[in-house]
Chains A and B, each alone.
Chain A
Amino acid sequence: GPKVLQIPSHQIIDMGQMVTLNCDPVSNHLYFYWYKQILGQQMEFLVNFYNGKVMEKSKLFKDQFSVERPDGSYFTLKIQPTALEDSAVYFCASSLGGNERLFFGHGTKLSVL
């Protein structure tokens, strides 16, 4: 099936540093998403993105978070500065339309020390 690639698979970072998580969505998809899963907990929606803009963000999407997809390249999630509670697996997803099936990447495990 369609593949969403996430780079890196694991990132270890010191608290206070900046981190950028990269996502290569399915090539013809137009809608992009980030989800967060803390170890042992539920998957939760962070943000969705379409036509170069954030459509909706959850309360988990703190001011330190930002997303962009410059010139059709990677869809990125930047956290600046990182905090200990940002440690989680971050999943990127994409879909052709807003009412279509979402395809997820394998996740980036972020460990903030």
Chain B
Amino acid sequence: GQQVQQSPTSLVLQEGENAELQCNFSTSLNSMQWFYQRPGGSLISVFYNPSGTKQSGRLTSTTVIKERRSSLHISSSQITDSGTYLCAMDRYNQGKLIFGQGTKLSIKP
């Protein structure tokens, strides 16, 4: 089965609403990253978050390693936030990332 489960699969929101994306891991892990993938395909690292809470502007990531989960919160969403958000885990800190299927976020005006 899937080692990295992301939910929801897709999310449609009105501009200004908050988004909450979840990532659950079926095995122990050492670290994880959140990525944003543009519709054109390029991959941008959003957070490297082995544990705890990190914030960057309107984005907040919270990882609880012992509970094998991470969340990404986007406040006051904007149309330009639309795209696919991927989470990935690294079990042994060797850069061998295992990715989830992604959450497709669509922000409507």
Contact = CB atoms under 8 A, between A and B. Distances in A.
B73 to A, nearest CB: 20
A104 B43 contact: yes
A86 to B, nearest CB: 17
B86 A43 contact: yes
B93 A102 contact: no
A1 B90 CA distance: 21
Interface size class of B (residues with CB under 8 A): 20 to 34
Which range holds the interface residue count of chain A?
20 to 34
A45 B97 contact: yes
B33 A101 contact: yes
B28 interface: no
Interface stretch (A12-20, A62-70, A92-100): A92-100
B98 interface: yes
B7 interface: no
B85 interface: no
B31 interface: yes
A87 to B, nearest CB: 14
A33 interface: yes
Interface in B28-53: 30-31, 33, 35, 41-45, 48
A89 interface: yes
Interface in A47-61: 48, 55-56
B25 interface: no
B66 interface: no
Contact of A43 (B44, B48, B90, B99): B99
Interface of A: 1, 31, 33, 35, 37, 42-45, 48, 55-56, 89, 91, 93, 95, 98-107, 109
19 contacts: A1-B45, A31-B95, A33-B95, A33-B96, A42-B100, A42-B102, A45-B96, A48-B94, A95-B95, A98-B94, A99-B30, A99-B31, A99-B93, A101-B48, A102-B33, A104-B35, A104-B44, A107-B41, A107-B43
